Amino acid sequence: MTDKMFEVFEFYPASEEKPQEMVEIVTGEDTFEISAMPEAPIADIILAETPEVNAAEEKKKKRISQRTKNRISNTIIHIALAVMCVVWILPFIGIVFESFRCESTGVVGYILPKHWGFDNYVRLFKETKFPTWFGNTLLMGVVTAVVQTAFQLAVAYVLSRFRFKGRKFLMNLILVFGMFPGFMTLILLYTWMHDWHLTDANAPYGLIIIYVASSGMGYYIAKGFFDTISKSLDEAARVDGATRMQIFFKLILPLSKPIVIYTVLMGFMGPWGDFVMASFMANNETGGYNVAAGLQWLIDEPAKKDMNYTTFCAGGVVVAFPITVLFLLLQKYYVAGVTGGAVKG
Amino acid sequence: MSKRETMELAIGGEMLPMHPLLNFKYQGERYAAFTPADSADPSEEGEVALTHVTTKIESSNGSVDLSAIKSNDNLERKLLLILSTCIIYLVLALCISFTTLVFVLWPKFWWIGMMLIIIGVVALIMLFPLHIAYAQLRKQRRLQGLQKVTCYEVVPCEGNDPIFAEFEIRYQILEKLSKNQQLSMLEYQRLNFRQKFLYKLKMFFRGIPRWFARKFKRLGLRLKAFGISIWENIKDIGRTFKNGSWKTRVSYLFMGFGNLSHRQVLRGILFFLFEASFVVFMVLSGGHWLGKFGTLGTTAYETVYDPELGEATIRVDNSFKILLYGLLTIFFIIAFIYTWRLNVKQCRILDEITATGKRVKSSKEDIQSLADNEFHKTLLSLPVLGIVMFTVLPIIFMILVGFTNYDYHYDGYGNLFTWCGLDNFNTLFAFGSKLSLAFGEILAWTLIWAVVATFSNYFLGMFVAMMINKKGIKIKKFWRTILVMTIAIPQFISLLYVSNLFAENGIVNATLMRWGWIKNPIPFWGNGTLAKVMVLVINIWVGIPYLMLITTGILMNIPADLYESAQIDGANAFQQFCKITMPYMLFVTGPYLLTNFVSNINNFNVIYLLTQGGPRHFAWGEVGGYVAGDTTILITWLFGITTGSEASYKMASVIGTLIFLVVSIISLIVFTIMPSTRREEDYA
């Protein structure tokens, strides 16, 4: 309460007469009401105080100078934004150019290729295991997206709607264990999965289990969304005789389309970028890599980099293109999820 | 100066407007407390000491004269005061004695001594204000007249005759704007910018001891509650056995018997199956693992004589498995104890239900309720199982590894590993050693990196969002889409490309050389300082689109009339930003900033893909076959140690634990400071 009320009052620049005005308004009243009082009356008083004389002329002058000022600043901002966009987009254009470069395969000091062609793409699909990697990643992406969504929504819904013994404990458990770096457990997970023959060439299956198993810990964003759906809806449905399960599936889920799509999108995109777990689990067995581990493996030594750098860029384009299109199509939902998550923490 | 006021108020009714100087507040019907009103004449502001209060209560029964000024110095507060003093001296004495002991007897454990000193200093810093705070609280209560004045209970007379109480209050104005006084809102507004800042700072530091006092109190209460609940459980188990039917008593040994005999077939069978599987597991393997848990195995190989094959070497123990399955067994035992307790409780409830002649829930109803009132159990079962098996268990396992000598050489297979206490922490903190030097520098860089990365992204991202949001900017959607697109492209592609862009033979160097601006390539990744700056700059490049997205939505939520009225008052853009945008943004995105900070501490991708932690520092020596470098942060160090050619899992685990400590301490501090994080249950 107090914090907010300070902020409201801070917005008025410190001038000589105003505080006293406020005091006069205020003194007659109960102190508590001041804090709840909207700022409008004060603004009115300030307005009323400005002299009417010459007001029109000055306003005109001000408006003109304001307009030119605005125009200048807008031009500057437009230029700045254009420069920024170039800086942001240039590396990606660079990757595309590299992928079409035919005269050499290593890192070079110029952007535009001297000979254009599809050599790198041909090499990517014929000479490397890229199709396998792509298949692996696609499989992981689809399965993870489905199961992770189910898990995250389940946990988020329960923590948002149910009050049961151990709820606080569960939330604290997830909070505390979420603070440990996940890489710590690499060696244990590898050994474990190795016992079940889910590493090396079978790494994608082991990775799916690892991705999915802990996904309940990322419930925060979905919970924040469920919290915003009014509970009186649930109660109304309960009165009408719906069970909790029916409420979840028939009422809440249809209302949560943005967050469902966001969770699916995140689950799908996760495996495409993860190369730590993927390379560790596959353990030098290139057949079990995902695209990230595989493409990184192509250029992880200087000699290999000279051989494969353009191929790597071609792979990057092939991977980035579908994801970017998907992402741009579902951008609306991504923004909703990210913004909601940021506000609610 | 002393003043004398008389006032009237209706007991039990609404507060009547009184003399402007004093402001009565009702606290229930029996208590009245009063404070000097905020609207007091400014010349008389200051602490007010009550010197005398008389209460005269008039009712139709006649009038009662009460002379009452009750002191609020109750025993509890005095005890707390004494206790806090005692604790301070006790903690100090303990710390000093232990520190001396450690330094003299085990110089190797110097870091424990250092920790003790830090605890001592912290205790001094924290407890002493606590002590002072209580002393001040007492003084303040007395001075400001906040103490409760007992209003003698008055029985309302018949009819609607109001009862009037007349308070005569004498008070003294002691001191103008005392240092201890919290300002009212109006007083706060009169301060200038510097004073406001100082005031906020002061209030913040004054809040710390109060926070600690609250935390200690809550911790104590929680511990007490925990102890009580355990004791109650034990008592309840005994009571149930004593009072229960024979069926209940049998189910102490055979779980689920009580449920079965009350025709709760499903529950009974589940309980029984759980017990059976527990017994079988313990007999077959659990006991074996648990027995070796203390040593983590003694013999790696054994030579046996096989009549068919002759002499053969077989593997006996595997430390890794003993540690893992031993831990699993402990988990299982805890689960069993919990289930057993549940079983006993259910038997008691069943006994009670049948005693009152009610019907017990059937198995069918049990299953139905799993879709209804118990739906959360259905939903949570799999995710929580996953979290426990793949996060909680592995992390506890890895913490334990930090107390063993598990590494590339002692792999628990050929060479067994075993418990080694705090040796690994000793190695890491060994005074003046290469490793401790490396650790100190890496920790410092990790923190610098996290702070700079978080705030640079935050402010620049907000700045970009504001530029795009500004009135009069065209094709807003286009600018946004371009930036958002860069989020979609997996980081390993863009970062690896950018890292090659700045390589010695990369495009940037080549172009600059072609233009003749430089003669030799700039070692972007070869020079420590330059690499650090580059990593930070490129992280801005990575992070701005995210922040732009997040802040755009929030910025648009700020009411436009705030800006309008600020403009009318003549505030320029910068003032508007400082006074409107920033407070609002910080308030709303506070939790996000914390999350972002934590994720930056663990920001593996940017560092690893750009520099792999280099340029290497060979002076630091290698750990697990990995040489850390200038841009190495804790998480990449951990990864390097785990995956290096001579992986040292024990050190990786120690570093992981330390990352946890750093993250949790920072989160704890931030959570307590930020106002917006405290409202987590607001929607609940």
Residues 235-254 of B with CB under 8 A from A: none
Check whether B664 has a pLDDT greater than 90.
no
Among B295-299, B329-333, B649-653, the least confident range: B295-299
Taking the CA of residue B652 and the nearest CA in chain A, the distance in Å comes to 7
Q: Quick one: CA dihedral B478, B482, B484, B485, positive or negative? A: positive
Burial class of B458 by CB neighbour count within 10 A (0 to 12, 13 to 18, 19+): buried
Q: Taking CB atoms and an 8 Å limit, are B639 and A183 in contact across chains?
A: yes
- Chain B residues with CB under 8 Å of A292 CB are 490, 492
For chains A and B, what is the number of CB pairs under 8 angstroms?
A: 319
Q: What confidence category does residue A343 fall into, taking pLDDT thresholds of 50, 70 and 90?
A: low
Check whether B458 has a pLDDT greater than 80.
yes
pLDDT for the residue B210: 67
Residues 249-268 of A with CB under 8 A from B: none
Q: Pairing mode, if any, of strands B301-306 and B310-315?
A: antiparallel
Q: Give first-to-last CA distance, chain B, whole Å.
A: 51
- Chain B residues with CB under 8 Å of A70 CB are 472
By Cβ distance, the residue of A19, A22, A70 closest to B472 is A70
CA angle A133, A136, A139 (to 5 degrees): 150
Residue percentage of chain B with pLDDT more than 70: 75
User: Highest mean pLDDT: which of A69-73, B30-34, B301-305, B325-329?
Assistant: B325-329
Q: Cβ of A284 under 8 Å from any chain B Cβ?
A: no
Check whether B437 has a pLDDT greater than 80.
yes
Check whether A139 has a pLDDT greater than 90.
yes
- Chain A residues with CB under 8 Å of B488 CB are 269, 320, 323-324, 326-328
How far apart are the C-alpha atoms of A39 and A46, rounded to whole Å?
11
Query: Once rounded to an integer, what is the mean pLDDT over residues B460-470?
Result: 87
Q: Report pLDDT digits (tens) over B87-119.
A: 777 877 887 887 777 777 777 777 777 777 777
Among B238-252, B446-460, B473-487, B573-587, the least confident range: B573-587
Record the tokens describing residue B11, joined without a space. Answer: 């007991």
- Chain B residues with CB under 8 Å of A144 CB are none
Domain ranges of chain B: 2-70+148-190, 75-142, 244-401, 435-672
Check whether B198 has a pLDDT greater than 60.
yes
Domains and CATH numbers, chain A: 2-49 (no CATH), 129-344 (1.10.3720.10)
Mutate to test the interface with B, among A12, A105, A187, A215 (most CBs of B within 10 A): A187
pLDDT for the residue B78: 62
**Count of positions (residues) in chain A:** 345
Task: Please give the residue of chain B at the shortest CA–CA distance from A225.
Answer: B683
Check whether B404 has a pLDDT greater than 50.
yes
Residues 314-333 of A with CB under 8 A from B: 316, 319-320, 323-324, 326-328, 331
Q: Cβ of B135 under 8 Å from any chain A Cβ?
A: no
Q: Taking CB atoms and an 8 Å limit, are A188 and B324 in contact across chains?
A: yes
Side-chain half-sphere CA neighbours of A238 within 13 A: 9
Please enumerate in sequence order all residues whose Cβ is within 8 A of that of B41, keeping only pairs 6 or more positions apart, or say none.
B21
Q: Cβ of B489 under 8 Å from any chain A Cβ?
A: yes
Q: Cβ of B61 under 8 Å from any chain A Cβ?
A: no
Query: Once rounded to an integer, what is the mean pLDDT over residues B329-357?
Result: 89
Cα dist from B254 to B276, B352, B361, whole Å: 9, 20, 21
Residue A104 identity: S
Check whether A155 has a pLDDT greater than 90.
yes
Check whether A178 has a pLDDT greater than 60.
yes
Among A29-33, B79-83, B298-302, B392-396, the least confident range: A29-33
Nearest to A307 by CA among A124, A93, A92, A126: A124
Mutate to test the interface with B, among A180, A299, A305, A313 (most CBs of B within 10 A): A180
pLDDT for the residue B69: 37
> What's the Rg (C-alpha) of chain A?
29
Q: Taking CB atoms and an 8 Å limit, are B482 and A89 in contact across chains?
A: yes
Q: Taking CB atoms and an 8 Å limit, are B185 and A12 in contact across chains?
A: no
Q: Which helix (H) or strand (E) holds B54?
A: strand B48-59
The verdict on domain B435-672 having CATH code 1.10.3720.10 is yes
Q: Taking CB atoms and an 8 Å limit, are B501 and A74 in contact across chains?
A: no
Report DSSP state, residue B419: B
Q: Cβ of A212 under 8 Å from any chain B Cβ?
A: yes
Q: Taking CB atoms and an 8 Å limit, are A181 and B656 in contact across chains?
A: yes
| Widest pairwise Cα distance in chain A | 88
Mean model confidence pLDDT for chain B: 74
CA angle B127, B145, B37 (to 5 degrees): 115
Check whether A20 has a pLDDT greater than 50.
no
Supply φ then ψ for residue B38, to 5 degrees.
-70, -30
Record the tokens describing residue A167, joined without a space. Answer: 């709820």
Check whether A49 has a pLDDT greater than 80.
no
- Chain A residues with CB under 8 Å of B186 CB are 19, 22-23, 26, 34
Q: Alpha carbon B528 to chain centroid distance?
A: 34
Cis status of the peptide bond prior to A322, with omega within 30 of 0: no
Residue percentage of chain B with pLDDT more than 90: 9
**Are the C-beta atoms of B633 and B659 separated by less than 8 Å?**
no
Higher pLDDT, B151 or A114: A114
How far apart are the C-alpha atoms of B201 and B191, rounded to whole Å?
14
Task: Please give the residue of chain A at the shortest CA–CA distance from B544.
Answer: A88
Please enumerate in sequence order all residues whose Cβ is within 8 A of that of B553, keeping only pairs 6 or more positions apart, or say none.
A335, A339
Nearest to A229 by CA among A211, A254, A208, A246: A254
Q: Taking CB atoms and an 8 Å limit, are B386 and A248 in contact across chains?
A: no
Q: What DSSP string runs through B102-165?
A: HHHH-GGGHHHHHHHHHHHHHHHHHHHHHHHHHHHHHHHHHHHT-SPEEPPP-PPPSTT---EE
Q: What confidence category does residue B386 fall into, taking pLDDT thresholds of 50, 70 and 90?
A: very high
Check whether B32 has a pLDDT greater than 50.
no
Q: Report pLDDT digits (tens) over B270-295.
A: 999 999 999 999 999 888 888 888 88
Q: Taking CB atoms and an 8 Å limit, are A80 and B510 in contact across chains?
A: no
Query: Once rounded to an integer, what is the mean pLDDT over residues A209-224?
Result: 88
Taking the CA of residue B479 and the nearest CA in chain A, the distance in Å comes to 7
Q: For residue B66, list its beta bridge partners.
A: B55
pLDDT for the residue B356: 84
Q: Cβ of A125 under 8 Å from any chain B Cβ?
A: no
Check whether B615 has a pLDDT greater than 90.
no
Q: Assess: ipTM above 0.85.
A: no
Contacts 24+ apart (CB under 8 A), B318-321: B318/B412, B318/B413, B318/B416, B319/B404, B319/B406, B319/B410, B319/B412, B319/B413, B319/B416, B319/B417, B319/B418, B320/A191, B320/B406, B320/B411, B320/B412, B320/B413, B320/B417, B321/B289, B321/B412
Taking the CA of residue A257 and the nearest CA in chain B, the distance in Å comes to 19
Q: For residue B57, list its beta bridge partners.
A: B64, B165
Please enumerate in sequence order all residues whose Cβ is within 8 A of that of B547, keeping only pairs 6 or more positions apart, or say none.
B457, B458, B460, B461, B462, B464, B465
> Residue ranges of the alpha helices (H) in A128-256?
130-161, 167-177, 186-195, 203-213, 220-228, 231-239, 244-246, 253-255
- Chain B residues with CB under 8 Å of A152 CB are 383
Taking the CA of residue B336 and the nearest CA in chain A, the distance in Å comes to 17
Q: Cβ of A107 under 8 Å from any chain B Cβ?
A: yes
Q: Alpha carbon A17 to chain centroid distance?
A: 48
Q: Cβ of B571 under 8 Å from any chain A Cβ?
A: yes
Q: What confidence category does residue B11 fall into, taking pLDDT thresholds of 50, 70 and 90?
A: very low
Check whether B160 has a pLDDT greater than 60.
no
Q: Alpha carbon B134 to chain centroid distance?
A: 26
Taking the CA of residue A323 and the nearest CA in chain B, the distance in Å comes to 6
Q: Cβ of B517 under 8 Å from any chain A Cβ?
A: no
Q: Give first-to-last CA distance, chain A, whole Å.
A: 21
- Chain A residues with CB under 8 Å of B467 CB are 77, 80-81
Check whether B235 has a pLDDT greater than 80.
yes
Supply φ then ψ for residue B376, to 5 degrees.
-65, -30
